[in-house]
Amino acid sequence: MNERKLLAEAGAAVKDELLAIGLVQPRGAGLSMLAGASFGSGAGGALGGLMGGVGQAVGEGIGAAGGAIAAEQATAHTQAHGGETPYMFLAVSKERVYVFRGHQTASGIKLGELLARFDRQDISIELHSRPLRRIVVIELLDTGDRWAFEAPRGPMFKDKTVLAVLHGG
């Protein structure tokens, strides 16, 4: 995932000078995938006892995929915002915060269409750090509507710059 390329692509889409962009998930999606992988690993280990590690690895893969599907379905049914997907991009400029859909492809996660645009003066931002993930909650001041995201720790998510910009402003 080329961060500069994503910044340029997202900035052109919204016609704004973006300071940072990072990959996020709806709150709870990561734990659903982890639970699916754990279940799949156990099932794969039990069913693939003759195959040893191969059975467990296959089970983990199937479980993670099942967890991702469960997370996507849970997101679709429990979020009031519509359009949320298991992966999204959070982009930040001096004046606004943008949420883009992420599309998973064979070569990675690509920037999709704009889901939401928030003026920074009209929102409050909560940032929480957990051992395995960082949490971002955007609350609209006029309605109280909340968007909650998580970014698992790791190089794929590139969220540190986004969180620094949000925290600083």
Topology annotation, domain 3-27+80-168: PH-domain like (2.30.29)
Structural domain spans, the chain: 3-27+80-168, 31-78
- The structure tokens 């400029």 sit at 93
Q: What is the DSSP letter of 1?
A: -
Q: Output the DSSP codes for 21-49.
A: EEEEEETTHHHHHHHHHHHHHHHHHHHTT
- Give me the residues paired with residue 99 across strands: 90, 116
Q: What is the pLDDT of residues 127-158, one digit of tens each?
A: 888 888 888 999 999 999 999 998 877 766 66
Count other C-beta atoms under 10 Å from residue 139's C-beta: 16
Please report, in tens digits, the pLDDT of each residue of the chain (169 residues total): 688 999 999 999 999 999 999 988 887 755 444 444 454 555 555 555 555 566 556 656 655 565 555 555 444 433 445 566 788 999 999 999 999 999 888 888 899 999 999 999 999 999 888 888 888 999 999 999 999 998 877 766 666 788 888 877 5
